Amino acid sequence: MKRVRIARREKSELEKRRRLRKRSFQIRHFPGIFLSVLLISLLAYLLGWSQLLSLKAIQIDGTTQVSAIQSSIDSLNPVVKIGEPLARIDVHAIERKISENSWIQATHIGRSWIHGKLNISVIEKHPVASYLRADSTTGYFDSEGKDFISPLSYTGIPTIDLQSPTVAAKQAIALFLTQLPPTYLQKAQSFTVTKATAIEMTLAISKKRIVTISWGEATDIPLKIQVYEKLLAMKENRQSLHFDLTDPLAPITK
């Protein structure tokens, strides 16, 4: 019995020591924990509600159409306001809104905490050609055949008679134009696309001679160009005005 009482007393002493150590640890670390909570709360206040890190200006780069981009930002709900805490501004919502402009390729937005700015950088699409839309407005499409409208004016791009305004037809003419040598583009008088597999162009050989070239699909263009140039150099084709290269291995001249 005596041994049992001694064991119980030792166990009780151990429990007391553990409680004392735990209490000592809590007291010793309480200031650090309190300061950490205080700093986090202060940081949350500075970012979310304080005017010290608020929006003072919006900087838009990469385009001359600053007013169009600003109009997109102003149409957001809730509205982005000067004086609003930077941390509470939804930059992803701004990116999505700006991307609704079909002439914008990409948008990058960053916060400048020191200067209180939203830095917005936009990348514009670059068209490879234009065409007349059904509503008589000018449309454009890029190298992937994706069409868009734009407040910008573009020079040095051909206008396509797009008789088949399908995605496949736009992709075909876009692919074709990227393979055409610059000299051909400079001398081109017109481009017509009746369908994705029927691309035609007129080319100025001289002031008095304009020929029509039927390319067919936008495939084997380098080979078709070689065939065309050999046909053009032949004496028997000096008066020819139409070169059908739909099948480059069996071309037709008229």
The answer to whether residue 251 scores a pLDDT higher than 50 is yes
Whole-number Å distance between alpha carbons of 226 and 217: 16
In angstroms, rounded to a whole number, what is the distance separating the alpha carbons of residues 57 and 112? 10
pLDDT interval class at 42 (50, 70, 90): very low
Residue 165 and residue 115 in one domain: no
CA–CA distance, 104 with 123 (Å, rounded to integer): 6
- 137 and 70 part of one domain: no
- Residue ending a domain, among 124, 151, 184, is 124
Quote the Cα angle for 111-116-119, to 5°.
40
Domain end, chosen from 97, 124, 151, is at 124
Residue 3 lies in a domain: no
* Mean per-residue pLDDT, 180-192: 93
Task: Determine the pLDDT at residue 32.
Answer: 55
Calpha distance 244→254 (Å, rounded) = 8
- Residues of the chain with pLDDT > 90, as a percent, come to 61
- pLDDT (tens digit per residue) in 45-86: 444 445 557 889 999 999 999 999 999 999 998 888 888 888
- Do 149 and 238 fall within a single domain? yes
Q: Is the peptide bond before 78 cis (omega within 30 degrees of 0)?
A: yes
**Is 225 inside any structural domain?**
yes
Do 103 and 138 lie in a common domain?
no
Q: How many domains would you assign to the chain? A: 2
Average pLDDT score over residue span 174-200: 94
pTM over 0.85: no
Domain that holds residue 56: 51-124
Claim to verify: residue 219 and residue 192 sit in the same structural domain = yes
pLDDT confidence of residue 113: 84
Same domain, 231 and 148: yes
Q: Which of 218, 241, 243, 246 has its CA nearest to residue 229?
A: 243
Q: Are residues 61 and 157 in the same domain?
A: no
Establish if 22 belongs to a structural domain. no
pLDDT above 80 for 31? no
The residues facing 244 across adjacent strands are: 214, 252
Distance CA(53)–CA(114), nearest Å, equals: 8
137, part of any domain: yes
Per the domain annotation, does 65 fall within a domain? yes
Residues 116 and 137 in one domain: no
Does any domain span residue 20?
no
Rounded to an integer, what distance in angstroms lies between the CA atom of residue 86 and that of residue 191? 50
Final residue of a structural domain among 94, 124, 154? 124
- Weakest mean pLDDT among 8-12, 81-85, 174-178, 232-236: 8-12
